[in-house]
Amino acid sequence: VSIQVSRIIGRKIFHYVRVTSTQDKAKKLAENGFAEGAVIIAEIQTQGKGRLGRRWVSPRGGIWLSVLLRPEITPMEVPKITMIGSLAVAKAIAELTRLEVKLKWPNDVLIRTISGFEFKKVCGVLTEMVSGVSRVNYVITGLGINVNNRIPAPLRAKAISLKEVTGRNLPRQKLLRKVLEKFDKYYLNFGKQGMAPILKEYRGMSAVLRREVKIECPGRIIKGKALDIDEYGALIVKTQGGKERVIAGDVTIVKR
Ligand code: BT5
């Protein structure tokens, strides 16, 4: 009998009780020339980061981790890594809990709430990079998963923890192992076969495809029907004026 262990992601795991942000710790490793696959995990983040300078609430009970990667890609391809990370989390949660899980482009993992009428954010993914003109030097992908932690009241309209839906504390170790295994599997597969197989699975879990969406991008708002997610992780939207290719933004699904 052979045991499948992670081959790249999780080769080295550094565990902390409290950090400002696991992203910053991972950046230090990268700058010190560490090999890809190193994982930084913390019980508490005092300055957890979201995209565009936002805060990520990270109290005890969640899984807050960052992975150092050195993929051979161009800066334009970095959103692919975000997709791979969020797909890994989504699959891990689905396997462990049997909950209904969806991916909200570009970086959210959602689960169905107890009422059953809506999906809320259980995980956010943040990918940061240091790059030359044509080649990425390294990528830090941060995964923040609400497992057994409390969600502050102001966030509860949109955010949820696994504990809240399942009604019990979840084994974080088990979930962590699954997340790293899946991330490893998809990352290795990406190196061998590119994005096509990953995209297929990602599309299958998408919360936005075929829906009417409103996307808030830096400086503008785009409204239309989400048609597809392309090889580069961009969202293709059918608007009144034609088709738009959106690289990043905050999506709201328009209920009709
Ligand atoms: C994200 O940003 O969703 C990326 C979050 C990445 C967090 C991980 S934790 C490990 C690693 N270390 C870090 O410092 N960060 C990464 P964004 O899409 O911009 O969403 C941020 C917004 O989500 C905030 O402005 C809040 O409205 C909301 N939010 C904050 N904390 C949350 C939480 N714990 N659960 C759900 N939503 C939250």
Kindly report, residue by residue over 226-256, the tens digit of the pLDDT.
Answer: 999 999 999 999 999 999 999 999 999 998 7
pLDDT bin (cut points 50, 70, 90) of residue 172 is very high
What is the whole-number distance in angstroms between the Cα of residue 242 and the centre of ligand 1? 32
For the stretch 46-99, pLDDT in tens is 999 999 999 999 999 999 999 999 999 999 999 999 999 999 999 999 999 999
CB 249 less than 6 A from any atom of ligand 1: no
Atom of ligand 1 nearest to the CA of 45: 14
To the question of pTM greater than 0.95 for the whole model, the response is yes
- Report the nearest-CA residue for atom 15 of ligand 1: 49
- Report the nearest-CA residue for atom 3 of ligand 1: 124
SS (H, E, C) the chain: CCCCCCCCCCCCEEEEEEECCHHHHHHHHHHCCCCCCCEEEEEEECCCECHHHCECCCCCCCEEEEEEECCCCCHHHHHHHHHHHHHHHHHHHHHHHCCCEEEECCCEEEEECCCCCCEEEEEEEEEEEEECCCCEEEEEEEEEECCCCCCCHHHCCCECCHHHHHCCCCCHHHHHHHHHHHHHHHHHHHHHHCCHHHHHHHHHCECCCCCEEEEEECCEEEEEEEEEECCCCCEEEEECCEEEEECCCEEEECCC
Mutate to test the pocket of ligand 1, among 19, 52, 56, 66 (most ligand atoms within 8 A of CB): 56
